[in-house]
Structure 1
C-alpha cells in the first residue's frame, strides 16, 4: 500500500553504552504499546519539486500520499498552474522564490500496510519554512522520541560469573556487571528542515536471571538484581565468599550431563526523552536478553 512513501527522513544518532551494541533492539515490556503509525515530513523544495515534475515521462507517477500517485499533468495543474481541484494548498510555479517545502505523509516501515496510516490523509502540501503544519498527525517531539525508541541499540555483553567456566553443585555462582560495562544509551532524533528533535535515553535499571533449569535457586529469590548506585549490578566475588549467598547469583542443585544449562540474563532499560521546547516524557521500559552456557559439576571427594 505505502512502500514508496514509508521511508522517513528523520536523522538519528546514538551515543553512550560502553560495550558492543547489539544487532537488534530491545523488547517493550508493554506488549500493547504502539508507536504512531504515520506523520508528515518535509519532502522537497520548490526547485526540487519542479525538476522532479518536469522529469516525469508518460506513464510515470509521483506519490502524493499512501496509494495516491499523480501523473505529470495533474501535478502541473495543482502546483504550477494553481488549480485547487485536488489539494488544499495549490501553488503557482511550485512556489519558487518562497521559503518553505512541500510535505508528505510518512509511515513507519513496520506499519506500511496498517490501516491506521490512512489517518494521515492529506495529499502533498506546502508549508512555510520554520513552521510545522497544524494538522492531525503532524510531527511532534514525542513522535520523534517514539521513532528513536526503535533505533536504540543497547550493549550485548555477557555477565561476569564466579566461578568461571564451571559451577559446582550447591555452591552459589556469583553474577555481576561492572559499572563500566553498562551505561546510559541516548539516541537523538531530528527532523531536517524543522526545529523538531527528541533525545531518548535508555537507562539500565535491573538484571533478571533465569537459571535454565528448575533444579536451581536464584539470589534474590525473584531473580531480579537491581542496579547499584554506582551503576554496577551485583557484587564481584571476593576470595573466601564461596559459602555466602551472593546479592546476585544462582545455586545449581544438579550437575549438567553433556548439555550445559542455558542461563538467561535480561537487562531492563528505563526509557525517557526530552525534546523541542522543553517537552519531555517516558516510553515503555525495554528488555534485552542474552543466553550463556553454564556447566555444573559435582563436588569430587576421595574416600580413604
Structure 2
C-alpha cells in the first residue's frame, strides 16, 4: 500500500453533501389573508427544528476514513414581500386556535403597513385584483459540522433551505356610528 488514506475532513465533506435537509413548512396566522396593522404570526414546523446527521466513508488505495456530518438549525429568515426581512432565532410559535388569543404570544411576527392590492396575483388564481398577494419566503440557516472517530472535526459552510408562498393582506376599515 502506498500513499496516504483520505483525511477525515474529506469524509466529513462527503457526509455533509449527503445531508437531506427538509425545506421549511410555512405557518401563518391569520392564514390565507392577513390584515394591515395586525401582527402576522410567522413560524416553520417545529418538527423540523432539530439536528440532522448522516455518515460517509471516503476510501482510496491507501485506506478509508469515516465521518459524520450534522446540520443544526440556527435561524429562520422571512422575506415578507413588502420589503421587510424578519430573522427569528427559532422556528417561531405556532398559533393554537383552541386557546384564547390572550393566552398566546409569539416570538416571530410581522405587521404589514399596506394591503397587497397591486401586488402579483399568485399562479393559478383568477385574474382579479382582490387575489393580489405578497410573495413570501422562509429560509432556515443550518450550521454544518463534522466529526470523526479519534476526535477530529470541524465546521463547514452553513447551508440554507427555503420555501415560498403567498399572503393576501387586506385593509379593514372601521366605521364609527355615533350613538343616538
Aligned residues between the structures: 159
- Could you say which residue in structure 2 is the equivalent of 1:278? 151
- Could you say which residue in structure 2 is the equivalent of 1:184? 51
Residue 195 (structure 1) shift: 4.0
- 1:151 & 1:224 partners in 2: Cα distance? 27
- 1:245 & 1:292 partners in 2: Cα distance? 23
- 1:276 & 1:245 partners in 2: Cα distance? 44
TM-score by length of 2: 0.76
- 1:139 & 1:167 partners in 2: Cα distance? 54
* Residue 11 of structure 2 is aligned to residue 150 of structure 1: no
User: Relative contact order (C-alpha < 8 Å, sep 6+): which is higher?
Assistant: 2
* Preserved contact between residue 143 and residue 158 of structure 2 (Cα < 8 Å): yes
Deviations 1:257-287 (A, max 9, x none): 2331111211110111111332111111122
- 2:106 & 2:15 partners in 1: Cα distance? 37
* Preserved contact between residue 24 and residue 161 of structure 2 (Cα < 8 Å): no
- Could you say which residue in structure 2 is the equivalent of 1:112? none
- 1:197 & 1:248 partners in 2: Cα distance? 39
- 1:241 & 1:290 partners in 2: Cα distance? 30
1:203 to 51, 63, 72: 72
The answer to which structure has the higher strand fraction is 2
* Residue 89 of structure 2 is aligned to residue 226 of structure 1: yes
2:115 to 246, 255, 258: 255
- Could you say which residue in structure 1 is the equivalent of 2:95? 237
* Preserved contact between residue 177 and residue 234 of structure 1 (Cα < 8 Å): yes
DSSP-derived class of the 2:150 partner: helix
CA RMSD of aligned residues (A): 2.5
- 2:12 & 2:115 partners in 1: Cα distance? 47
* Preserved contact between residue 270 and residue 284 of structure 1 (Cα < 8 Å): yes
The structure with more radius of gyration? 1
Residue 253 (structure 1) shift: 1.1
DSSP-derived class of the 2:11 partner: helix
- 1:206 & 1:192 partners in 2: Cα distance? 35
Unaligned runs of 5+ in 1: 1-126, 228-232
Unaligned runs of 5+ in 2: 118-128
Give 1:5-24 correspondences, 5 Å limit.
none
Residue 169 (structure 1) shift: 0.7
